[in-house]
Amino acid sequence: MQTPEQIRDRLLARFPGAGVTFVANPGASAQHSLLLAASEARAIAEFLRDDPELALDTCSNVTGVDWPEKEIVETIKKNVPDPAGGPDKVVEEKMKKTQPGCLEVIYHLYSMSRKQGPVVIRLRTGNRTDNVTLPSLTPVWRACDFQEREVYDLFGIVFAGHPDLRRILMWDGFKDHPMRKDYVDPDDFEWEPTPHDDVLERAKEHYPAAPVTAAPTASPTPEGKA
């Protein structure tokens, strides 16, 4: 099986100018991946499937990741001349910058015919708000169908070219996307058939308690009569 670096080099040779970036995985699995530019993703996916050496004919898993905007601190080293004429001093300066957020979809690919894999590819949106469209890879690997729908439902990534893009876990009228890291649970739990514990307490804020009525008292009976 070719390494991710070798596959990257082949892709860059086959698609000059295409965005293909090696992404190292520092974890114990060392399952490195390739980040593809959305504009070339469909053509690259077809190449990965049809190339006789790779023959990545199966997509086993599609998942989403939410990367919110975050602040990054970078340490920069500068040479500062010594006023006394000695050697320059190395001074470290810390600079803060904001890394824009995005949404990401990850595909795990295997070759059933050649018994090899996985090859992991990634696609990223332009941001988390109004640029969240990526090309669907369902036309390349049919197994992506329901899994891309799940990513659409839970993360809000729109897959252009998907044959039936609609919610698959939440109902049609549901708002927002529950797997986003900034998702806030609704206060209104009227859909909960049997509210209990903290759900019940939050539901009470929306639905006033039923008025308490006094229990009826028994009428006294005349003395001597049952």
218 domain residue, yes or no: no
31 domain residue, yes or no: yes
Same domain membership, residue 187 and residue 159:
no
How far apart are alpha carbons 186 and 209 in whole angstroms? 20
Same domain membership, residue 152 and residue 108:
yes
Q: Is the pLDDT of residue 175 over 90?
A: no
Same domain membership, residue 151 and residue 117:
yes
222 domain residue, yes or no: no
What CATH number does residue 134 fall under?
3.30.460.80
34 domain residue, yes or no: yes
Same domain membership, residue 151 and residue 107:
yes
Q: Out of 14-28, 33-47, 69-83, 212-226, give the one with best mean pLDDT.
A: 33-47
Question: Considering the entire predicted model, what is its pTM?
Answer: 0.78
Same domain membership, residue 187 and residue 162:
no
Find the mean pLDDT for residues 133-155: 98
219 domain residue, yes or no: no
Average pLDDT, the chain: 88
- pLDDT tens-digit profile of 54-108? 999 999 999 999 999 988 888 888 888 877 777 888 888 888 889 899 999 999 9
90 domain residue, yes or no: no
Domain that holds residue 145: 4-66+102-168
Same domain membership, residue 205 and residue 109:
no
Tell me how many degrees the CA angle 210-211-216 measures, rounded to the nearest 5. 120
225 domain residue, yes or no: no
pLDDT of residue 193: 61
Number of domains in the chain: 2
How far apart are alpha carbons 169 and 167 in whole angstroms? 6
* DSSP H helical ranges for 59-196: 144-155
Pairing of strands 116-124, 102-111: antiparallel
Same domain membership, residue 149 and residue 188:
no
Q: Is the pLDDT of residue 192 over 60?
A: no
